[in-house]
């Protein structure tokens, strides 16, 4: 749902499609996984910049349901990178007051990785300075389908009256049910599409599609986009009088 017009103009929740890691590496004559490792290191800088910018929630698109179509070598390398990232960054994230959540379908992920995800969520559950949500094996259509299935099960069991279902009902079944909707969605690397990311939640979001590849996306660039958001005239369908 859109924010109240009287709330602060800066984005409270920023979602980021971190695109361009592979191209960044290939332009340097390196394998694609080299770019993914560089991109993972960039995440900490952006998360650390959030409090000073007034950003309370940041959601990053780490691995989509479509990314399984990539080569077996790249997929295996990415899964290894996620495990390494969790192990390496857990303490730093906790010390910075970051609460970490994961969204997406965990069924296809290996048990060791899922256990590490669960442990990091529990380890940081008491933090509230920044809320970092990592979309892993995530797809917007898949999320809505899973949510609809759970909603249908509640209707069938009598827990939910079908006559009461409205646009406020489905979000309670989404992976992001504890999060506010994103105010700003950023995609790096010059691609101007949302690639099945937070489809329901981004209905009223502002978008920024920028040419910068994700490993080159600095805190300064991030701050500039956050400031640009504050200058936008957001009417949410109303006419300004």
Concerning whether 52 is annotated as a catalytic residue, the answer is no
Distance CA 139, CA 211 (A): 23
Q: Would you state the structure tokens that stand for residue 202, as one six-digit string?
A: 């981004």
**Cβ within 8 Å of residue 47, ≥6 positions away:** 58, 93, 96, 98, 130, 132
Catalytic site residue from 4, 6, 21, 67:
67
Concerning whether 19 is annotated as a catalytic residue, the answer is yes
Angle, to 10 degrees, between the axis of helix 72-95 and the axis of helix 111-123? 20
Q: Would you state the structure tokens that stand for residue 141, as one six-digit string?
A: 């259509």
Helices (H) and strands (E) in the chain, counts: 6, 6
Catalytic site residue from 4, 19, 137, 166:
19
Catalytic residue IDs: 19, 67
């Amino acid at each position: 749902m859109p924010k109240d017009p009287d709330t602060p103009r800066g984005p409270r929740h920023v979602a980021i499609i971190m695109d361009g890691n592979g191209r960044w590496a290939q332009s340097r004559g390196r394998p694609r996984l080299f770019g993914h490792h560089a991109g993972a290191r960039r995440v900490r800088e952006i998360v650390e910049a959030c409090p000073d910018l007034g950003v309370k929630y940041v959601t990053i698109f780490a691995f989509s349901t479509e990314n399984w179509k990539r080569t077996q070598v790249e997929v295996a390398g990415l899964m290894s990178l996620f495990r390494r990232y969790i192990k390496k960054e857990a303490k730093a994230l906790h010390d910075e007051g970051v609460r970490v959540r994961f969204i997406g379908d965990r069924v296809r992920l290996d048990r060791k990785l899922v256990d590490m995800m669960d442990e990091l969520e529990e380890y940081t559950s008491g933090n509230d300075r920044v809320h970092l949500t990592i979309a892993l094996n995530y797809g917007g259509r898949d999320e809505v389908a899973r949510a609809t299935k759970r909603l249908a099960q509640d209707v069938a069991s009598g827990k939910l009256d079908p006559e009461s279902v409205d646009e406020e009902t489905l979000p309670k079944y989404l992976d992001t049910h504890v999060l506010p909707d994103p105010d700003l969605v950023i995609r790096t690397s010059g691609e101007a599409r949302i690639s099945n990311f937070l489809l329901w939640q981004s209905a009223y979001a502002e978008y920024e599609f920028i040419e910068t590849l994700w490993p080159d996306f600095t805190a300064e660039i991030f701050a500039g986009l956050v400031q640009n958001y504050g200058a936008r005239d957001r009417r949410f369908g109303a006419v300004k009088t």
